[in-house]
Amino acid sequence: MNTSSSLPLSGRIALVTGAGSGMGAAIAAHLATLGASVAALGRREDRLTALATAAADSEAAGRILAVPADITSDAEVEAAVARIHRDLGPVDILVNSAGVMLPNPLADGRADEWGRMIDTNLTGLLRVTRAVLPDLTEGADRGPRDIVNISSIAAHVTFPDYAVYAATKAAVTALSAMQRTEVARHGVRVTNVEPGLTQTELGMHIGNERLSAELASMFAAIEAISADDIADLVDFVVTRPANVNLRQVVVLPTQQA
């Protein structure tokens, strides 16, 4: 008996960036379980292939297509979207989950890290959104369509030495609100998700030993939320009735003030 047609995301096509690990991987897996066909986009092809294989082995109702690409490259994003169109079809759900966190004091002058965060967290998000925007705005006959941007509470909560990372996330939060003013008329919903302390790989790329230790102490003191918790939240957002848009969701560990 085929039950996939009764699932809430059956027939919908999702694109999830940053799907090689953490929130992106969890979100892709969850959406497939709910019946969506999911394009899992990220830089690490081996991780994406493993994610697709795991979904197939678990007999998830939807499929996961591994789409290796770097969102800091126009050419790679364009090629990735062309492949998604060819293999799956037009995108109904875009989850911009890719991001990098490289905190350091501004006095260190790490322009290389600033550029990497801006190009990934902000420009990369814009690059992917631009590539699939016609799918979303011209797809009224396909039912609900969603953009979900993963921001951070750093968008409005101050953390010393995280200035540039916080600035990119504040930009994502502002951009999400402005996106909605342009796409809501087409029936496209935009949700900005701001997680607090979350157990992912994001903190593993911190090169500053002091800041790395400070973050580790936070994880020791607070029971963080998980990538699956965020994925479960995204599941809820994209399965609301078509006339309901959760504009902004802030999600914190219970112990985080």
Which residue ranges make up each domain of the chain?
A: 7-242
Q: Report which of residues 3 and 104 the model is more confident about.
A: 104
For residues 218 and 129, the model is more confident at 129
In the predicted structure, residue 3 carries a pLDDT above the cut 70: no
Stretch among 88-92, 113-117, 155-159 having the lowest mean pLDDT: 155-159
Q: Name the active-site residue from 27, 29, 132, 165.
A: 165
Check residue 208 and give its pLDDT. Answer: 76
Rg of the chain (C-alpha set) = 18
Query: Which listed CATH number (2.40.128.640, 3.40.50.720, 3.90.1280.10, 3.40.50.1100) goes with 7-242?
Result: 3.40.50.720
Instruction: Enter the tokens of residue 95.
Output: 């989850």
Question: Quick one: average pLDDT of 228-240?
Answer: 98
Is 162 labeled as catalytic in the residue annotation? no
175-191: average pLDDT? 97
What's the mean pLDDT in 56-65? Answer: 88
Which helix (H) or strand (E) covers residue 48, if one does? helix 45-57
Give residue 2's pLDDT band: very low, low, confident or very high (50, 70, 90): very low
Q: Does residue 4 register a pLDDT over 60?
A: no
Please enumerate in sequence order all residues whose Cβ is within 8 A of that of 68, keeping only pairs 6 or more positions apart, or say none.
41, 42, 43, 44, 45, 48, 80
User: What is the arithmetic mean of pLDDT over 198-204?
Assistant: 74
Burial status of residue 243 (CB atoms within 10 A of its CB: 0-12, 13-18, 19 or more):
exposed
pLDDT of residue 138: 95
